[in-house]
A and B are shown apart, each in its own frame.
Chain A
Amino acid sequence: MHILTNYQHHTNDNSPINIDIVNLSVYYGKFRALAEINLQVHEKQITAIIGPSGCGKSTLLRSFNRMNDLTPSAHTEGEIRLDGQDINATGIDVVDIRRRIGMVFQRPNPFPKSIYDNVAYGPRLYGVHRRSDLDGIVENSLRQAALWDEIKDKLHQSGLSISGGQQQRLCIARALAVEPDVILMDEPASALDPISTLRIEELMHDLVKNYTIIIVTHNMQQAARVSDYTAMMMIDEQRAGNIIEYGKTDVIFTNPKDKRTEDYVTGRFG
């Protein structure tokens, strides 16, 4: 495996990698939004992607599960290997990719269905129809999302009838129901109150025992609190997003190697 890194890369540990990004560039039409990104994501760890607005964090995140495919002008070069297999290769089942790499968005977006049907939707699409099986999946997913105790008596209420924080945990449960390997989170708590935010963060600490988590966040204290690894992004002179430093979170926030990272995490960037 050949990795080109032109930035400060200091993870240097032996924990397994399950996502390997090699020379990834993403274009919107002629505009290159991401420039030759190289990144190794550690399995069952939380990786935070931070950086100023417009540096390509969400574009990078959406590359992991080929959500950029839904933008007509977008095209991708380079490879994203999930367990060694390039997800952009010809013949790959993109629906299965999106099952294995689930996503939670900034604004909670439960379906206008019951809580039960929100969680059961994915398994049903995969052919699970027996009631007892679905009941088990729904309960297990809602328990993993730390939501079961709060809504177990209202599974048939609308997913839109619960609070914002609960809706976000419902969206997490929905992603968990199809047994992903990876969960992507695009600023999952930015629309939530502080207590709901802390609940989501606690949940992440529990989920990471079983899932690889990648989170984009503007909240540096959140990135520092929750993540094991942090990738710092910035745009270059051509306005393309680059990773300028990647390392263990405690190092990034106590002794970053790149001055631009130092300036950003200390709030001197501007």
Chain B
Amino acid sequence: MLRKTFEHEIQQVKDDVLILGSMVEQEILVSVETLKKRDIEGSRQILELDKKINAKRFEMENQVMILIATQQPMAHDLRLLASILEIISELERMGDYGKGIANINIRMGDQPLLKPLIDIPRMAQRGADMLHRALTAFINEDVETARAIPQEDDEIDGLYNQIYRELMVFVIQDPKTIERANWLLWAAHNLERVADRVTNICERTIFIATGELKEIDSSDDEQRKLNQNPD
């Protein structure tokens, strides 16, 4: 096979994307778990994990830059490597959302949770699952799956809206709960952003496979557009 070395190096980078992805999945799920259990030490470990994610991201970015400089990739190879740079940036930001949730837990200190966490862990689970499948679609250049996953963002948005309404009820009934409500709203917001970034990864997978670079609208966005332009 021609360009055996290059093929091997591309495969290594793709494997690294999966490794980085699984680190981020862990960061998201465990950060929510530590919040649910008020495990402050666990949250501090998440901060350490985030540092490792950041370091790995930069290491991968460097590796991709070296490949671009030395191998002069064209066509599919170029789209793949350029997209990997974007994808690892998305993953690093998702990791930051997990870190944000860990920080919320640490900052809450001794304050109890406003309510037992049910929907927030559900959001985390759904988001991590979407991420996992999106990265599998990336590896397999599965355009069909990449187009379908962003539609699940609606469920995540639905959970966020539900959490928002519930927390508002608490605040209206007892304004002193606003700070604790705010912490939880931030955590939910971070998880909502995780799902948005999964959509971005799916867009890149489609670009790698087809050369087409387009925003994927969730059905929520489609509905908003229809509402604005009824014709």
Contacts and interface: CB of A to CB of B under 8 A. Distances in A.
- The reply to whether chain A is a binding partner of chain B is yes
Contacts of A261: 75
Contact of A265 (B2, B6, B74, B79): B74
A253 B76 CA distance: 9
Given A254-B211, A255-B79, A255-B211, A270 B74 contact: no
B12 to A, nearest CB: 18
Contacts of A85: none
B3 A254 contact: no
Nearest to B207: A255
Nearest to A221: B72
Interface string B40-79: 0000000000000000000000000000000011111111
B75 A254 contact: yes
B145 to A, nearest CB: 21
A270 B7 CA distance: 15
Interface string A206-236: 0000000000000011001000000000000
Contact of A253 (B1, B3, B75): B75
A62 B150 CA distance: 54
B2, B74, B78 — which one has the most chain A CB atoms within 10 A of its CB? Answer: B74
Contacts of A253: 74-75, 78
B75 A265 contact: yes
B3 A256 contact: no
A131 interface: no
A270 B78 contact: no
B152 to A, nearest CB: 28
A255 B72 CA distance: 15
Contact of B3 (A221, A224, A262, A267): A267
Interface string A244-260: 00000000011110000
Contacts of A262: 75-76
Contacts of B211: 254-255
B2 A268 contact: yes
B73 A266 contact: yes
A265 B74 CA distance: 6
A259 to B, nearest CB: 10
Contacts of A28: none
A178 B221 CA distance: 62
Nearest to B74: A265
B74 A224 contact: yes
A268 B79 CA distance: 16
A254, A269, A270 — which one has the most chain B CB atoms within 10 A of its CB? Answer: A254
Nearest to B71: A267
Interface of B: 1-3, 6, 72-79, 211
21 contacts: A220-B72, A220-B74, A221-B72, A253-B75, A253-B78, A254-B74, A254-B79, A255-B75, A255-B211, A256-B75, A261-B75, A265-B74, A265-B75, A266-B73, A266-B74, A266-B76, A266-B77, A267-B3, A267-B6, A268-B1, A269-B2
Lowest 9 CB-CB distances: which A-B pairs, in order?
A255-B211, A265-B74, A270-B2, A253-B74, A267-B3, A262-B75, A266-B77, A265-B75, A266-B75
